[in-house]
A and B are shown apart, each in its own frame.
Chain A
Amino acid sequence: MDETAKRAVRNLVILGGGTAGTMIANKLRHRLARTEWHITVVDRDDEHHYQPGYLFVPFGGCSPEQVVRSRHSFLPDGVDFVIGSVDMVNAEGNVVLLEDGRQLPYDQLVIATGTTPRPDQTPGMLGLEWRRSIFDFYTLEGAEALADALSRFDGGRLVVHITEMPIKCPVAPLEFTFLADAWLRGRGLRDRVELVYVTPLDGAFTKPVASAHLGGMLDERKVLVETDFMVERIDDEQKMLVSYDEREIPFDLLVTIPLNMGADFVARSGLGDELNYVPVDKHTQLSRKFDNIFAIGDASDIPASKAGSVAHFSVEIFVDNFLQHIAGRAMTGAFDGHANCFVESGDDKALLIDFNYDTEPLTGKYPLPVVGPLELLKETRVNHLGKLAFRWIYWNVLLPGRPVPLPALMSMAGKHPATQREKQEA
């Protein structure tokens, strides 16, 4: 390559080869000329996990082979895949520094390094009882260890606990609780188990209408709910959760969702908020500090669910915006915070909820108005099959960046705003 050509080629560096990073690499490689843009994806390993699959692992419903594939196999030709840990981003100098000393200069940077459970942030969580009577299921190892513990569990207090919001997939702790209830019933153990759901929120979920609905489902299943519980520490000798206002919740088996935080390099680079999330414009996801840094997926501070569906819908908007941005034009797309989550409710049924920054989860049909086939905010078998089918769609359609026939922005067609009564109950 001669000097002129070298200067002409620009670098797009994508940190993170997860859902958002992989989709972006695939979509942009098709839209950016190779003679004009190099694309590099950086991740610390070559294991891409289908994280929604973790939920079924504790109940023996999903094998590790079904949830892990290699990252590079989902990246197209013409994208460099670099395995390495990011030390920091020098945003003034437009260069990423890796821990092994390598430097990756960029013209445009996408931070898509997600969010990670951090059990080290709560005193006592990583103590003697970690993976003995205290488990997480947001990592594959945690979910596998929990499967083992559940298979030996024959009664007592099973406590499901959320440390602090926001967390990845905010419905997963509820789903776990519903599945645990069904699983215990199936094994004839339900009467010997006290199921407790402990949350820092003032209800079962974050959005009022869905919270009332899902809270009702916990009541039906005789799950005790402890709200407004901000854990200060875990007393691992007495096996109990202790809150800042000195409430105590004993457990025999604790399934906790640790504090979630963005990557530490984000903090080291001065690009993060108090939880290492990158502050961005919530419609374009462009950094509020730097004009050539975007944060997509769970890594940003947008007030939307940290979930694969949000990553997916926001990438659709991002790609067109990015092309306008690098051409020096104003970005015209505006992401609306659209999230779309299946909620497993046990006994091979699931609900589906669909919401965005401004609109509560609605009842109705999805994705096609009236026809469905999926029902919003209702437990059905078809929704459960939809959730299971999604794993195939994820690996084969979504990650490769092929068009998924779901609109990125939320549609109101065929949906019904919650009734006044539902709102009041909420």
Chain B
Amino acid sequence: MPTTTIGGHEIHVNDEGFMTEYDEWTEDLGQALAAQIGVEMSDEHWQAIQFLRRDYPDQGETATLRRVSTVGGIPTKQLFVLFPKKPAKKMAYIAGLPKPRGCV
């Protein structure tokens, strides 16, 4: 797996730039990753990202939009406002998680 340096941290990523090591993630890094894709983080953004971070170790999979809305309590419409165009991918990218599969 290639490594890259973001915000001064060296991290392991896959060929699409998604982090591959859950434990390498920090909030600072999340902030830097968000900046990479033009997302300015607000409390509401963090609420979604923290849900993804908490959910992943239990589920072993990145939460889908439906899961973030039904279990995490943030309506899908709002996720499209917070992370425009491709919310599922953008959230996973910022949260340092694999791209959600939700699509087998």
Contacts and interface: CB of A to CB of B under 8 A. Distances in A.
Main secondary structure on chain A at its contact with chain B? Answer: loop
A245 B104 contact: no
Contact of A303 (B61, B67, B84, B86): B61
Given A232-B76, A303-B61, A274 B67 contact: yes
Among A164, A170, A232, A306: residue with most chain B CB under 10 A:
A164
A28 interface: no
A206 B104 contact: yes
Contacts of A425: none
B77 A232 contact: yes
Contacts of A306: 104
A244 B77 contact: yes
A201 B65 CA distance: 12
Contacts of A230: 65, 76, 80
B71 interface: yes
A120 interface: no
B102 A274 contact: no
B85 A201 contact: no
Contacts of B70: 274
Nearest to A203: B103
B66 interface: yes
Nearest to A206: B103
Contacts of A275: 66
Quick one: which of B79, B89, B103 has the most chain A CB within 10 A?
B103
Contacts of B9: none
Contact of A304 (B61, B67, B84, B104): B104
A228 interface: yes
Interface in A159-209: 164-166, 170, 200-202, 206
Contacts of B67: 273-274
A305 B104 contact: yes
B86 A228 contact: yes
A201 B86 contact: no
B67 to A, nearest CB: 5
Interface residues of B, number: 20
A418 B103 CA distance: 20
B103 A165 contact: yes
A245 B103 contact: no
Contacts of B104: 165-166, 170, 206, 303-306
A200 B66 CA distance: 12
A165 B77 contact: no
A162 to B, nearest CB: 10
A164 B88 CA distance: 13
A303 B101 CA distance: 8
B64 to A, nearest CB: 8
A230 B68 CA distance: 15
Interface in A196-234: 200-202, 206, 228, 230, 232
Contacts of B59: 279
Nearest to A337: B104
A206 B64 CA distance: 15
A234 B73 CA distance: 23
Nearest to B69: A274
B71 A274 contact: yes
Contacts of B64: 274
B85 A245 contact: yes
Interface string B49-81: 000000000010100111100110000110110
A304 B102 CA distance: 10
A206 B100 CA distance: 11
B71 A166 contact: no
Nearest to A307: B104
Contacts of A245: 80, 84-85
A167 to B, nearest CB: 10
Nearest to A166: B104
Nearest to B75: A244
Task: List 4 tightest A-B contacts by C-beta distance, closest first.
Answer: A206-B103, A274-B70, A244-B80, A165-B103
Interface of A: 164-166, 170, 200-202, 206, 228, 230, 232, 244-245, 273-275, 279, 303-306
Given A166-B104, A202-B86, 11 more contacts: A165-B103, A170-B104, A200-B103, A202-B89, A228-B86, A245-B85, A274-B64, A274-B66, A274-B70, A274-B71, A306-B104
22 contacts: A165-B102, A165-B104, A166-B102, A170-B104, A200-B103, A206-B103, A206-B104, A228-B85, A228-B86, A230-B76, A230-B80, A232-B76, A244-B76, A244-B77, A244-B79, A244-B80, A274-B66, A274-B67, A274-B71, A279-B59, A304-B104, A306-B104
